[in-house]
Structure 1
Amino acid sequence: MLRINRKLLQMDREGKKVQVALIGTGKMGRGLIAQMSRIPGMRPSVVVGRTLEKGKAAFLTAGVSMEDMVITNQLEKAKEAVQKGRFVLTEDSDLPFQIDAIQGVVDATGSPIFGAELAIKTLDAGKDLISLNVELDSVIGPLLLKRAEEKGLIYTGSAGDEPGAIMELSDFALGVGFDLLAVGKGKNNILNRSMTEDDLRQTALKQGLSPRMLTGFVDGTNTMIELTGVGNALGFVPDIPGCHGPKATPENLSRIFSLKEEGGILSGYGIVDFAFGMAPGVFAVVTSKNEDVKKLMGYLHMGEGPNFILHRPYHLTSLETPLSIYNAIVEREATIAPGCGQVCDTVAVAKKDLKKGESLEGIGGKSCYGMIVSHSTQQEENYVPMGLLTEGAVMKEDVKKDTWMTYAMVDLEDTTLLRLRQKQDIMEWGGSGEV
């Protein structure tokens, strides 16, 4: 991984650069601009945002002068600016697809509805897609992976996001010969599935977040979505719907995430879950059938076994995204991708009593929260994936709080995302997203 430093320095000396477009100038997008502006051989050449002032402020904070920025929605002016090594700020999200020098697009929007259209346009334009949009990936990630592979492109999640961090830890564990039993993340916030943006508005604003975004974390939806992405990459499922979510420490987690007959909480291995007390890190529970390896792990102060915990105590979100940009565009490798197909789903559950004719909201809204289940359960029960809910969705009938929502209960808005999910659902998936 660290060969990135040498390779990019060499590219920079040769006058070559990795050039990407960044879509989204929220907290994650601004952090990425700050990091990329410091890396030789890598540039956020085009930045797209609804609020150009955010992108401009991010560049100025990173030490980029106004003279080096071009603010325009005109294609020819944007092409000329990129060619001259200047940075383009634009409100036109279609602009990057028409600039040949742009090799990849980074989706930092967090919107599954907009992200679906963005993803298709990116891949159809022949550009790699580096996505921080786990909300989108949880719904149609396998279809996007297949489409990318057919075009010889890379579709990848991001290093620094917890799914990417979990995958890196899993790759390490499998790469050195361990058996991978369970993986997961620390819960970074309290868990209250009834919380709304009204409850969290002041806290969110103090943290520089939108109230909807924070609500999606506190009500557990985003944790479920992140674990869905991991499950689809590894072929793992939750042990129970919604996961266990125990309190744990690095010292006792390997015992907790063992089988019931071994004194733990699990009915089986090959699972995703989360734990309180492990934030902001990620973890993998591993073992070995070799007694010499178990003894050596004990000697190395990794516990008595038979299960052992590998724990990474941090994840740096978009500050690590440059690693995925480099690996995708230069090395042609994904950090994390749903190569096992749709193994898990995050589905909608009523956050309150809902009435017939009532309009719903998406992730972080007042209507529903998300719970992870196996994809087979989602299909058997006809549950609605949480990412498909929009403000245009309307209830067909009354339901009580904590009802698991089915397609029969909701009139969904006709979106690109919905049509792509319907297309994905009729496909039969093999390994690596092949149909």
Structure 2
Amino acid sequence: MIYHHLFKQAAAKAPVRVGIIGAGAYGTAVVTQAPYTPGLEVMIVADLSATLAKGAFEKAGVDASRLVYCETVSRAEAEIEKGNRVYTDHCEIVPKLSRVDVVCESTGSPEGAANYALSAIENGKHVAMCTKDCDVAVGPMLKRLAKEKGVVYTPVDGDQHGLFIQMYEWAKVIGLEVISGGKATDGEFVYDERESTVTIKTDKHIKPPYQERVSVSANDRRYLEKIPNGGVEEYVARRAEILSGLPQPGAYDLCEMTVAANYTGLAPARDSLWHAPLRITEIPVAYCTQADGGVFKAPGAIDLATCLRTPNESGLGGGVFLVVRAENAYSNHVMATKGQIANYDDSACVLYRPYHLCGVETSVSLLAAGLLGVDTGSDDFLPRWDLIKVAAEDIAAGDIFGNDHSHQLTAKITPAKPVASANPACAHLLTGNRAKVDIPRGTVITYDMVEEPAHSTLWRLRRLQDETFGTK
């Protein structure tokens, strides 16, 4: 990275003044790391809970005497001028503050995020979008509006899709062919060979029908050994069956991959992705083209992987990966023999980053926007794909649709379609809204099945996006 050189050149603009909307785990991590980030200052934290907003500053070690609750723009401006830090439950004031350069949106609410991001853009503020639920629905439109206004709209370092987009752009810069890429799910499958069990390592609560541990029969043990040359299809299929009792990727995982696909142009090979359980050493074997022994018909695929490992093996840590090759034979030889993990014929290798630091590393995107006027995504953010939802249970008319963590719905990635009666509904245009009709289990949710909320910024932006980009 050369960010330190670039930031140093732009130091005259420092500090970058940030307003945080949403004091959950992610937004709080941005606040707590800010005191250790040269050139970055968080001026205000907003949340529907004033207690959470104040708590983010307290966790960052800000002196209690400098923390002031404000309800209005004028009062907040006055307190910041005095050198104080503001917390509030009036989120709408943040984009209107003259002493904020970058609005970091981390509410997790698609409707709220659309409102705050649009307000920030209209008020000449850069937007760092942490709420992927909004980004996947109307991100291309918000980025277009920001460009027209002369401000930045950016994904963020720390979220996996933001890191993946940067890794993909780096590979393009040095001329590599990206065969596939994606992210590792946060949970990892740890195989205890002695006990013949596989246990998921995760910080998430495990809910039925899934369980924390499954036993592996003597006949199935071989399928947890390294995939042999020519055995990808059989091993991936059997592992899916053997490990089906463990928690599987959620809609939130597919959501991030949809955002990344819209930024990069990589495409899902199938609507639910392969999301195979793989060792790091197996990624270039399985996530290659069929011609080279992998699962994909053609290069340019995006997918998920759940890291399968023994207790003594390294994991992926919820990181990101690319399977790449160099077109020049000598360059490809260099990659395959200088420490990179290659497939069996050395035609491709995996490059990976085994971590994502959530809000702790988001400061890079905030500084890039505030100091350099650039985003840490790509220029080619288009509405290529939609995340859509399928009823996982019977839904009654009047029921409220849940978010990406709800067990009421499952997700798929399909080509983007405009808002129209019989089209599959973009997933986060459903969130928090009511079913208009009874919906049987297994049904793809379409726009005519959901009650459109009145005066919705999210729905308005989505229609504008359809019109602007000619979505058909």
TM-score in same-fold range (> 0.5): yes
The offset of 1:358, in angstroms, is 3.5
Structure with max Cα Rg: 2
Where in structure 2 are the equivalents of 1:88-167 lying within 5 Å?
Answer: 88-167=86-165
Aligned to 1:354: 395
Q: Which residue of 2 aligns with 1:213?
A: none
The C-alpha deviation readout for 1:219-278, integer Å capped at 9, x for no partner, is 611011100110011112100111111111221111111122321111222121001104
Q: 1:359 to 1:325 in 2, by over 3 A?
A: closer
Deviations 1:68-104 (A, max 9, x none): 2221113333112222332111111122233212111
Partners of 1:173 and 1:380 lie apart in 2 by 40
Range that drifts further, 270-279 or 18-27? 270-279
Match of 1:256 among 275, 279, 286: 286
> In the alignment, is the contact (CA less than 8 A) between 2:288 and 2:295 conserved in 1?
yes
Task: Quote the offset at 1:379 in angstroms.
Answer: 8.5
Q: 1:118 to 1:337 in 2, by over 3 A?
A: farther
The Cα shift of 1:427 comes to 2.7
- Aligned-residue sequence identity (percent) comes to 24
Which secondary structure does the structure 2 equivalent of 1:251 belong to? helix
CA distance in 2, matches of 1:138, 1:51: 26
Match of 1:332 in 2: 373
1:131, 1:15 → 2: CA distance? Answer: 22
**Per-residue deviation, 1:169:** 1.3
Answering whether residue 420 of structure 2 is matched by residue 416 of structure 1, we say: no
Which residue of 68, 84, 87 corresponds with 2:85? Answer: 87
Match of residue 286, structure 1, among 324, 348, 352 = 324
Q: Identify if the C-alpha distance between structure 1 residues 34 and 8 changes in structure 2 by more than 3 Å, giving closer, same or farther.
A: farther
Taking the aligned partners of 2:267 and 2:6, their CA distance within structure 1 comes to: 38
| Equivalent residues of 1:187, 1:280 under 8 A apart | yes
Q: 1:34 deviation in Å?
A: 0.6
Counterpart residue number, 1:225: 255
Partner of 2:348: 307
Task: Point out the more displaced range, 273-282 or 53-62.
Answer: 53-62
The answer for the alignment partner of 2:412 in structure 1 is 371
Name the CA distance, whole Å, in 1 between partners of 2:86 and 2:388: 38
Taking the aligned partners of 1:152 and 1:15, their CA distance within structure 2 comes to 17
Kept in 2, the 8 Å contact 1:112–1:417? The answer is: yes
Q: Who is 2:444 aligned against?
A: 404
Match of 1:341 among 350, 366, 382: 382
Greater mean deviation of Cα atoms: 86-95 or 22-31: 86-95
Size of the alignment, in residue pairs? 409
Give the whole-Å Cα distance in 2 for the aligned partners of 1:83 and 1:307: 56
1:123, distance to aligned residue in structure 2 (A): 0.4
Cα distance in 2 between the residues matched to 1:353 and 1:197: 24
**How far apart, in 1, do the equivalents of 2:404 and 2:156 lie?**
20
Per-residue displacement from partner, 1:272-314 (whole Å, max 9, x unpaired)?
1001104411101111110111111122032252111110000
The answer to whether the 8 A contact 2:263-2:381 is kept is: yes
Q: 2:65 aligns with which of 64, 67, 73?
A: 67
For residue 302 of structure 2, give the secondary structure of its aligned residue in structure 1: strand
Aligned match of 2:303: 273
| Runs (5+) with no aligned partner, structure 2 | 190-199, 212-246, 308-315
Equivalent residues of 2:160, 2:320 under 8 A apart: yes
Corresponding residue number in structure 2 for 1:208: none
Q: Label 1:7 to 1:265 Cα distance change in 2 as closer, same or farther (>3 A).
A: closer
Does the C-alpha gap of structure 1 residues 57 and 355 become closer, same or farther in structure 2, counting only changes over 3 Å?
closer
Partner of 2:194: none
CA distance in 2, matches of 1:379, 1:330: 41
Structure 2 residue 55 is matched with structure 1 residue 57: yes
- Report if aligned partners of 1:354, 1:395 keep a CA contact under 8 Å in 2: no
Q: Quickly say closer, same or farther: Cα 1:387–1:197, change in 2 above 3 A.
A: farther
Cα drift, residue 158 of structure 1: 0.5
Q: Which amino acid aligns with 1:328?
A: A
After the TM superposition, which segments of 4 or more aligned residues of structure 1 sit over 4 Å from their partners? 376-381
Q: Is the 8 A contact 2:157 2:362 kept in 1?
A: yes
1:295 matched to 2:320:
no
For 1:335 and 1:164, the matched residues in 2 are separated by: 7
Partner of 1:37: 35
CA contact (8 A) 2:395 2:439 kept: yes
**What is the Cα-based RMSD across aligned positions, in Å?**
2.8
Deviation at 1:316, TM superposition (A): 0.6
Other structure's SS at 1:285 match: strand
| Equivalent-residue separation in structure 2 for 1:300 and 1:112 (angstroms) | 44
Aligned residue type for 1:417 = L
- Structure 2 distance, partners of 1:62, 1:416, is 33
Decide whether aligned partners of structure 1 residues 390 and 252 sit closer, same or farther in structure 2, where only a CA change above 3 A counts.
closer
Judging changes above 3 Å, is the alpha-carbon distance between structure 1 residues 390 and 247 closer, same or farther for their aligned structure 2 residues?
A: closer
Instruction: Tell which deviates more after alignment, 45-54 or 20-29.
Output: 45-54
- Structure 1 residue 119: Cα displacement: 1.1
- Whether the 8 Å CA contact 1:347–1:370 is kept in 2: the answer is yes
For the residue of structure 2 that corresponds to 1:46, the secondary structure is strand
Instruction: Verify the 8 A CA contact 1:197 1:364 in the aligned structure 2.
Output: no
Q: How far apart, in 1, do the equivalents of 2:339 and 2:206 lie?
A: 47
Distance change >3 Å, CA 40–CA 260, structure 1 → 2: closer
User: Shift in Å at residue 148 of structure 1?
Assistant: 0.5
* Counterpart secondary structure, 1:145: helix
CA spacing shift, 1:174–1:10, aligned 2, 3 Å: closer
Q: Aligned partner of 1:285: which letter? A: V
